[in-house]
Structure 1
Amino acid sequence: MIPWLLLPFRDALPGFTVFRYITFRAAMAAATAMVLSILLGPWVIRTLTRLKMGQPILEDSPDTHQAKAGTPTMGGLLIVGTILASTLLWCEFHSGGIWVALVSLVGFCAVGAIDDTRKLLRKQNLGLRSWQKMLLLVAITLLVSWLILHFNLRGTATSHLSVPFFKKFRPDVGVFLVPWICLVVVGTSNAVNLTDGLDGLAIGGTLIVAATFAILAYVAGNAKMAQYLFVPFVPGGGELAVFLGAMSGASLGFLWFNAHPAEVFMGDTGSLALGGALGTVAIMIKQELLLVIAGGLFVLEAMSVILQVGSFKLRGGKRIFRMAPFHHHLELGGLKETKVVIRLWITAIVCCMLALSSLKLR
């Protein structure tokens, strides 16, 4: 909105040209989202508490988690609200990618809000059935897929994938592009959701990955940099850095309240929305395979659940981990919650550093 309002002045008056630069607007979006989150956080927490939005805790969770029962949840509304406000304040309205990212964010947030509401009404940690949640997530992703393809938001060679560490290897998924988009977006959404089990873990991981993908989006939208680094050039992709900047700032602001001991949880309202939005951006800038590396923390958590369930069913009740997701395995191994969170943040940072290094190691 601000770049649009200043359009008549930014080329005529000294100093106003800075609003043309994506890097400046992404940084301002991050700062705005963070400040809004910190300012609005106390009011949101008081409101959720007054409405008795207390988080129910699973009975088979580690004993240390039982004390968290009643902590306000659905704090994802604060995250999504500040991302929306900051993005709309600092983005260029003509960017189709921004609008698709926001559609994904809000759509997945709505599904999470329905799930959280049902849990609260039933006063137990059972919301939507798995098939109901998956059906809704796939439906939203199909809409997102149509928008991406209809407005050609993946640039040329739409169905080709970019493979990390390879310059010219561009496999073509062809007619399987839409199922591929669904796999990436829904998979990322659920992976972030599974990671959200310890104070600050999922939001800290999201902050790290969003900041990394802000850099990747900027590179993808810059023709010269994309050519130099051998990454697909996506016209307009750079504007997504503003959205990701807002996501980074909102995550940092929410972490202010979600750090141990958490004053508020994001709930499925936040985790599904953040994961879905990250997956959508990765699809639009053709870096979905790099998301597997950068989002290694989320992949680790999701794979631990898949392996645990598979082992339990195929090996007659035998488990691989003490408890899944993986962060509970570490907790039950004797590590304190804060140490588990910090070590997994470090893991996320290393994964993102590896992802960024792939831009040169080709």
Structure 2
Amino acid sequence: MIYHLLVPFAAQLSVLNVFRYITFRSIYAFSTALIIAIVFGPRVIAWLTKLKCGQYIHEDVKAHQCKAGTPTMGGILMAVSIIPAVLLWADLTNQYVWMTMLVFLGFGAIGFADDYIKVVKKQNKGLSARGKIIGQLFIATAAVGILMLDPDFTTKLAVPFFKNIQPDLGLFYLPFAVIVIVGASNGVNLTDGLDGLAIGPTVVAAGMFALFVYVAGHAQIARYLQVVPVSGVGEVTVFCAALVGAGLGFLWFNAYPAQVFMGDVGSLSLGGALGFVAVVCKQELILLIVGGVFVLETLSVILQVGYYKFSGGKRIFKMAPLHHHFELKGIPESKIIIRFWILSILLAFVALSTLKLR
């Protein structure tokens, strides 16, 4: 909105040219989302408490029984921080910005429905697993399908560390990209089990993808770094910056001991948005590195369930996802959280190195 109000007058007042720069507007989108989250956080928490949106804690997780009743659905706070920030600072004629926001809101709507049924209607199972996955597949398929209708959008797959290897997946790109988006969404959801555990790696990943998106959208830099260029995608940097700001604002209240949990409305929407951003900037495989914590948490669940069925009741981990395994080994919650954050930062730098390594 600010972009459209001020840029037309840049010819008469040169100082307004600064609003043309994505980097400048991203900084203010970050700041706007952060301020909104911190200012309105107590109000949203009070509202959720009034609605009696208390988190149900499974009886198997004994260490967390003291957290029962803590307000959940805090992902709403991030939504009301991100969307205004993007609307204020982004170029609203950019299709990628709108598609990213719609994926974010679409996955958030699924999470909201699940949370609402569980914590407001007091039906602990929420939406069925089948219902959630069908909704996620529908949104992801629609989003990727629209991308592929654009003749300029390539179905080539960039391989980290091997920039000359770019296989063209053709029509197989659709199911591949859908798996990336849905997988990212559920990966963040599985990681959301300790105070601040999911939002920390999400902020790191969003910050790193802000850089990858900017590079992909800048033709000269993309050419120099041999990154697949995507014309116009650089504007999504504003969304990523807003996500980082909103995430840090949410962490203000979600840090141990948490005053609010993000719920599925937060984890599904954030993961879905990260997955879509990875697809739209042609860095799908980089998500496996940047989101390595989410990958580990997801793999721990897959391995645990698979081995349990195969072995007739035996387990690899004391409990899955992985963070519960470390809890049951006696490692304090705050230490697990910080160590996962450190791992996320390390993986982000590994991903960053792929821009130069070939």
Amino acid at match of 1:135: I
What is the match of residue 340 of structure 1?
336
Q: For the residues of structure 2 that align with 1:147 and 1:278, how far apart are their CA atoms?
A: 18
What is the 5 A alignment of 1:206-245? 206-245=202-241
Q: For the residues of structure 1 that align with 2:252 and 2:150, how far apart are their CA atoms?
A: 38
Amino acid at match of 1:148: L
Answer yes or no: is the 8 Å Cα contact 2:112–2:265 preserved in 1.
yes
What is the match of residue 59 of structure 1?
59
Unaligned segments of structure 1, at least 5 residues: none
What is the match of residue 148 of structure 1?
147
Among 281, 287, 291, the alignment partner of 1:285 is: 281
Answer yes or no: is the 8 Å Cα contact 1:56–1:124 preserved in 2.
no
Answer yes or no: is the 8 Å Cα contact 1:56–1:123 preserved in 2.
no
Question: What SS is found at the alignment partner of 2:8?
Answer: coil
Q: For the residues of structure 2 that align with 1:167 and 1:102, how far apart are their CA atoms?
A: 30
What is the match of residue 78 of structure 2?
79
What is the 5 A alignment of 1:247-258? 247-258=243-254
More displaced, 99-108 or 4-13? Answer: 4-13
Q: For the residues of structure 2 that align with 1:58 and 1:125, how far apart are their CA atoms?
A: 10
What is the match of residue 125 of structure 2?
126
Answer yes or no: is the 8 Å Cα contact 1:22–1:239 preserved in 2.
yes
Among 311, 315, 318, the alignment partner of 1:315 is: 311
Give the aligned CA root-mean-square deviation in angstroms: 1.1
What is the 5 A alignment of 1:1-362? 1-61=1-61, 63-121=62-120, 123=122, 125-151=124-150, 155-156=152-153, 158-362=154-358
Q: Shift in Å at residue 304 of structure 1?
A: 0.5
Answer yes or no: is the 8 Å Cα contact 2:30–2:245 preserved in 1.
yes
Amino acid at match of 2:173: L
Q: Shift in Å at residue 124 of structure 1?
A: 5.5
Question: What SS is found at the alignment partner of 1:201?
Answer: coil
Q: Shift in Å at residue 8 of structure 1?
A: 2.2
Answer yes or no: is the 8 Å Cα contact 2:189–2:268 preserved in 1.
yes
Q: For the residues of structure 2 that align with 1:261 and 1:227, how far apart are their CA atoms?
A: 46
Answer yes or no: is the 8 Å Cα contact 1:57–1:124 preserved in 2.
no
Q: For the residues of structure 1 that align with 2:143 and 2:110, how far apart are their CA atoms?
A: 15
- Per-residue CA deviations over 1:223-262 (Å, capped at 9, x if unaligned) read 1110111110000111110000000000000000000010
Q: For the residues of structure 2 that align with 1:22 and 1:254, how far apart are their CA atoms?
A: 24
Q: Between Structure 1 and Structure 2, how many residues are aligned?
A: 358
Answer yes or no: is the 8 Å Cα contact 1:38–1:256 preserved in 2.
yes
- Per-residue CA deviations over 1:142-165 (Å, capped at 9, x if unaligned) read 22122222345xx45x11100000
Amino acid at match of 1:218: Y
Q: Shift in Å at residue 199 of structure 1?
A: 0.2
Q: For the residues of structure 2 that align with 1:314 and 1:10, how far apart are their CA atoms?
A: 66
Q: Shift in Å at residue 176 of structure 1?
A: 1.0
- Per-residue CA deviations over 1:40-80 (Å, capped at 9, x if unaligned) read 0000000000110111111111x220000000011101111
Q: For the residues of structure 1 that align with 2:251 and 2:28, how far apart are their CA atoms?
A: 19
Unaligned segments of structure 2, at least 5 residues: none
Question: What is the TM-score of this pair, normalised by structure 2?
Answer: 0.98
Question: What SS is found at the alignment partner of 1:276?
Answer: helix
Answer yes or no: is the 8 Å Cα contact 1:58–1:125 preserved in 2.
no
Q: For the residues of structure 2 that align with 1:160 and 1:271, how far apart are their CA atoms?
A: 29
Question: What is the TM-score of this pair, normalised by structure 1?
Answer: 0.97
Question: What SS is found at the alignment partner of 2:350?
Answer: helix
Amino acid at match of 1:263: Q
Answer yes or no: is the 8 Å Cα contact 1:100–1:147 preserved in 2.
no
